C-alpha cells in the first residue's frame, strides 16, 4: 500500500501510541492457521458501522489477535479455539490458552499508560463448564480465588497489579464454532441488510473476508481495496496527517493490519434506514453507486429491483434528452410532470407505510414494496403522463421517477 500516492489519513494521538506498542509477529506469519480469527475480525469490523460510540478501526495481529480502537478506549481481544469439550476455570488459566497473551498485552499497555483506558478480553470458542468455580471466574474475574490467582501470577502477572488486570479482564465464552462461524456472520449481516439475498450476502462477506485476511497477514492490500482506501474519507479527525511521505515507521507498518471504517463503508451496502448524511458520506468515500442505488439499498431494495430501476431510468433518459432537444419549454413541462409523478410516488410510499401493521416486512423493505406496487399496473403510471411526454408509457414514467430519485427528490420510503 506504500505505493498509493493519494492515501492520507488523520491519526489520533491514541492510535499513534498504539502503533508503537511492541508486538509479537508470530501471529502474522502463521495467520493461515487462524481463519477463525479472520472471521471474528470481520464480525468486529462490522461494529464500525455504528455512527455514535462505535470503533474507529480494527487492527489485526498487533499486540493481540484483534485490537479494537475507539476514540477514548481500547479493547485487546485474544481468540482461542478448542478441539473438544468445554472450558473450565483451570483450563482457561493454563499456559497457552490466552491469559498469558493478555498479560503481555496489559504490560505493553501499562508501559504506554493506556491500561486504564483498556479492557483485555478472552474470546472462547464453545461453552464453559457449567456451575461452580468456572462460572464464578468467568462472570467476575476480579473475584478470582487464591488458587487461580497463583496460576495467573505464574503466567506473568505481577502481584502489584494483578487486581487491576483482573478488573479489566473480560471472558466472552460461547463464540460460534469454527464450523458455524460463516453461518453466524451471514446471519448477523442478514439482520443488517435484510433486503439482500443469501447470494448477495455471501458476495459482500467474501469481500470483507478478503480484506480481513490481508490485514491479518499484514500484507499489501489487493488493488480493489487499495483504491477504496486511497479515496476514503479521513478515518479520524484529530492528530497529525500521516501518509507514505511522513509519519513514523510504526504507523506506516500498522496500516497494512488495519481495517478502517471508511473501507468498510466502501465495501458494503448502506444499512437499512441510512440517513442522507450517511449516503453522502459513502459517495464522498469513493463509492461508485449512484444516489438512486444508494437510496434504494437503504430502503431495502433487492439487487434485481435496483437493476430494473436502473434499466428503466436509462430508457427514460433517452426519451428525456430527445424532449429537451425538440421542445420549446421542455424543462417546464418535465417539471410539471415531475410534480405529478412525485405525488403518486409519495402516496404509494405512504400506502406501504400504512400496510406495515399487517405486513411487518414492509417496514424493512419499503423500496421493494413500492416498486412492486408501481410496476404491478404500469397503465396507472402511464395515465399520469397527460401530455404524452413519455408516450404514456408507464414503464418510462417509472424510469423517470428513478431519475428523480437520482436527483435526491424521492427516497423510496415514506417521509
Q: What is the pLDDT of residue 346?
A: 94
Q: What is the mean pLDDT of residues 198-218?
A: 86
Model pLDDT for residues 216-255, shown as the tens digit of each residue: 876 444 333 233 222 322 333 333 233 344 354 555 556 7
Band (pLDDT 50/70/90 cuts) for residue 166 is: very high
Cell numbers that stand for 84 in this block: 473438544
pLDDT > 60? residue 28: no
DSSP 95: T
Cell numbers that stand for 65 in this block: 489477535
SS3 state of residue 112: coil
Q: What is the pLDDT of residue 355?
A: 84
Over the chain, what is the mean pLDDT?
80
Burial 7-44 (b: 16+ CB within 10 A, else e): bbbebbebbbebbebebeeebbeebeebbbbbbbbbbb
Cα 103 to its chain centre, rounded Å, is: 30
**64-69 and 74-80 strand pairing:** antiparallel
SS3 state of residue 266: helix
Contact yes or no for 18/58 (Cβ under 8 A): no
**22 against 86, higher pLDDT:** 86
Q: What is the pLDDT of residue 285?
A: 56
**241 against 356, higher pLDDT:** 356
Return the minimum-mean-pLDDT range out of 94-103, 189-198, 243-252, 292-301. Answer: 243-252
Model pLDDT for residues 305-350, shown as the tens digit of each residue: 999 999 999 999 999 999 998 888 889 999 999 999 999 999 999 9
Q: What is the mean pLDDT of residues 188-214?
A: 84
Phi, psi dihedrals of residue 410, rounded to the nearest 5°: -145, 125
pLDDT > 70? residue 281: no
Gyration radius of the chain over CA positions: 26
**18 against 66, higher pLDDT:** 66
Return the minimum-mean-pLDDT range out of 56-65, 200-209, 369-378, 386-395. Answer: 56-65
How many alpha carbons lie under 13 Å from residue 94 in its C-beta half-sphere? Answer: 8
Full 3-state SS string of 340-403: HHHHHHHHHHHHHHHHCCCCCHHHHCHHHHHHHHHHCCHHHHHHHCCCCCCCCCHHHHHHHHHH
- Torsion angle of C-alpha atoms 379, 381, 383, 387, degrees rounded to 10: -130
Return the minimum-mean-pLDDT range out of 298-307, 314-323, 357-366, 370-379. Answer: 357-366
pLDDT > 90? residue 23: no
Cell numbers that stand for 186 in this block: 451471514
Band (pLDDT 50/70/90 cuts) for residue 270 is: confident
Contact yes or no for 23/60 (Cβ under 8 A): no
Q: How far apart are CA 118 and CA 41, in angstroms?
A: 18
**118-125 and 169-175 strand pairing:** parallel
Q: What is the pLDDT of residue 226?
A: 30
Q: What is the mean pLDDT of residues 257-272?
A: 83
Judged on CB neighbours under 10 Å (0-12, 13-18, 19+), 216 is buried
Contact yes or no for 29/4 (Cβ under 8 A): no
Kindly report the pTM of this predicted structure: 0.64
Amino acid at each position: 500500500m506504500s505505493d498509493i500516492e493519494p492515501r492520507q489519513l488523520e491519526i489520533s494521538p491514541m492510535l499513534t501510541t498504539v502503533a508503537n506498542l511492541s508486538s509479537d509477529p508470530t501471529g502474522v506469519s502463521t495467520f493461515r492457521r487462524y481463519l477463525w480469527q479472520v472471521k471474528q475480525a470481520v464480525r468486529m469490523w462490522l461494529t464500525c458501522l455504528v455512527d455514535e460510540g462505535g470503533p474507529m478501526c480494527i487492527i489485526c495481529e498487533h499486540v493481540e489477535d484483534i485490537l479494537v480502537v475507539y476514540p477514548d478506549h481500547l479493547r485487546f481481544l485474544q481468540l482461542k479455539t478448542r478441539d473438544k469439550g468445554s472450558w473450565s476455570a483451570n483450563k482457561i488459566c493454563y499456559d497457552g490458552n490466552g491469559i498469558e497473551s493478555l498479560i503481555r498485552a496489559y504490560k505493553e499497555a501499562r508501559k504506554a499508560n493506556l491500561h486504564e483506558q483498556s479492557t483485555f478480553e478472552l474470546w472462547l470458542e464453545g461453552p464453559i463448564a457449567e456451575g461452580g468455580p468456572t462460572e464464578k471466574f468467568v462472570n467476575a474475574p476480579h473475584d478470582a480465588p487464591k488458587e487461580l490467582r497463583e496460576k495467573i501470577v505464574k503466567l506473568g502477572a505481577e502481584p502489584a497489579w494483578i487486581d487491576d488486570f483482573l478488573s479489566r479482564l473480560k471472558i466472552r465464552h460461547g463464540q460460534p464454532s469454527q464450523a458455524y462461524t460463516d453461518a453466524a456472520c451471514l446471519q448477523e449481516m442478514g439482520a443488517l441488510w435484510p433486503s439482500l439475498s443469501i447470494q448477495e450476502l455471501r458476495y459482500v462477506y467474501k469481500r470483507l473476508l478478503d480484506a480481513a485476511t490481508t490485514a491479518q497477514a499484514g500484507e499489501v492490500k489487493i488493488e480493489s481495496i487499495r483504491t477504496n482506501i486511497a479515496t476514503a474519507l479521513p478515518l479520524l479527525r484529530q492528530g497529525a496527517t500521516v501518509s507514505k511521505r511522513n509519519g513514523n515507521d510504526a504507523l506506516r507498518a500498522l496500516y497494512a493490519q488495519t481495517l478502517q471504517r471508511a473501507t468498510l463503508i466502501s465495501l458494503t451496502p448502506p444499512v437499512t434506514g441510512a440517513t442522507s448524511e450517511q449516503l453522502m458520506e459513502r459517495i464522498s468515500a469513493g463509492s461508485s453507486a449512484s444516489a438512486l442505488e444508494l437510496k434504494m439499498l437503504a430502503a431495502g431494495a433487492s439487487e434485481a429491483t435496483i437493476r430494473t430501476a436502473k434499466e428503466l431510468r436509462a430508457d427514460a433518459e433517452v426519451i428525456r434528452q430527445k424532449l429537451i432537444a425538440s421542445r420549446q419549454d421542455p424543462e417546464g413541462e418535465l417539471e410539471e410532470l415531475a410534480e405529478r409523478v412525485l405525488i403518486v410516488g409519495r402516496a404509494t410510499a405512504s400506502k406501504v407505510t400504512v400496510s406495515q401493521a399487517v405486513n411487518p416486512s414492509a417496514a424493512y423493505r419499503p423500496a421493494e414494496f413500492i416498486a412492486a406496487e408501481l410496476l404491478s399496473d404500469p397503465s396507472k403510471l402511464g395515465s399520469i403522463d397527460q401530455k404524452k411526454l413519455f408516450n404514456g408509457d408507464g414503464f418510462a414514467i417509472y424510469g423517470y421517477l428513478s431519475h428523480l430519485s437520482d436527483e435526491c427528490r424521492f427516497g423510496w420510503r415514506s417521509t
